[in-house]
Amino acid sequence: MAAVKPLSGKVAIVTGASRGIGRGIALQLGQEGATVYVTGRSPKESDSNEAAQNNLPTLQSAANEITSRGGKGIAVYCDHRNADDIARLFEQVASEQNGQLDILVNNAFSAVNDITKANGKKFWELEPSFWDSVNDVGLRNHYICSVHAARLMVPKRSGLIVTISSPGGLRYLMNVAYGVGKCAKDRMAADMAVELKEHAVTSISLWPGTVKTELVMHNIKEGMFEDYHLEGLDGDDIKNIIEDGESIEFSGMCVAALAKDPKVIKFTGRTLFVGDLGDKYGLVDIDGRKVPSTRSVKALLGLLQYKKTAALVPGFIKIPGWIMSASQSKF
């Protein structure tokens, strides 16, 4: 008889899971046996056209792969810019799962291409609508999803809400709208934790490292990084960093490890780095590589292209989180 998988009987929603980090998280939760609702935009809208034209994966293929890995994948078309669509998604899950929702992963994001195209432009040189492109799906939608999820989780005194963020939450990165959105997500996860803790529901923010998603790999092939510049690095440096990045599934391994941890509430309110969770839970990426922490001095030097110095620094030396936080003090 096949062994029962650790997340068998658990119900998860992963938003924006047709491709990228959301897809990787959904696959890993499915592999551990969960029923996973994966969302993406309507097939009539640009997402699926983009997928078909650019040979990117589709939402239904994510659902099929979850099922083939031993979970149950359910594809739901939901435009996360639209509050009614979001409400319908949670109604569907509540009615099909008898009010049970164990895991919400706030991941959907609509601005990867707009941000790449905006490279080098100041906020006043972009249309004000750039904010909406980044933060309608990338922030507002996560708040709305969390409201609906908490309404299902609080009465059951159980649940895990993971919000996918990035180092843009700590300091200026790429552009103003991006950093403000990420900083707000970290704060949203922390403030939700204050109100959820007495109800035994966990809320954390998770920072992946650099991830070689299908879309950025496609964009590299299309030459979108040729004239790109970021923090003193040029397009070739950025391409190398992305190509050397972690797989879309490593964040998923971390979310699955958190979901399996009976003491996960001890992390509530915190912003966690995937590299640190890899160390804690003994995880390696699907290609067998160890993923460095965003706090690793060696990895940071490597990212800044000080490769010779990085080679001399032991991998276990990490910048304490409080120093990173204090270095960006508002006061």
Residue 256 CA to residue 249 CA, distance in Å, equals: 10
When asked if residue 271 is in the footprint of ligand NAD (CB under 6 A), the reply is no
Residue 138 CA to residue 85 CA, distance in Å, equals: 16
Q: How many residues bind ligand NAD (CB under 6 A)?
A: 29
- Enumerate residues 21-40 that contact ligand NAD by CB under 6 A: 21-22, 39-40
Instruction: Provide the minimum distance between the beta carbon of 86 and ligand NAD in the complex, in angstroms, as a whole number.
Output: 9
Annotated catalytic residue 178: yes
When asked if residue 118 is in the footprint of ligand NAD (CB under 6 A), the reply is no
Element (H, E) at 273: strand 271-273
Order of strands across the sheet that contains 202-207 = 72-77, 35-40, 11-14, 103-106, 160-164, 202-207, 271-273
- Enumerate residues 35-94 that contact ligand NAD by CB under 6 A: 39-41, 47, 78-81
Tell me the CA end-to-end span of the chain in Å, nearest whole number. 60
Residue 189 CA to residue 107 CA, distance in Å, equals: 13
Residue 33 CA to residue 282 CA, distance in Å, equals: 20
Question: CB-wise, 109 or 267, nearer to ligand NAD?
Answer: 109
When asked if residue 102 is in the footprint of ligand NAD (CB under 6 A), the reply is no
Question: CB-wise, 41 or 69, nearer to ligand NAD?
Answer: 41
When asked if residue 110 is in the footprint of ligand NAD (CB under 6 A), the reply is yes
One character per residue 206-245, x = contact with ligand NAD (rule: CB under 6 A): --x-xx-x-x------------------------------
Q: Which stretch binds ligand NAD (CB under 6 A): 107-115, 150-158, 263-271, 307-315?
A: 107-115
Residue 37 CA to residue 39 CA, distance in Å, equals: 7
Cβ atoms of 37 and 49 within 8 Å: the answer is: no
Strand partners for 75: 38
Instruction: Give me the active site residues, please.
Output: 178
Residues that bind ligand NAD (CB under 6 A): 16-22, 39-41, 47, 78-81, 107-110, 112, 137-138, 164, 166, 208, 210-211, 213, 215
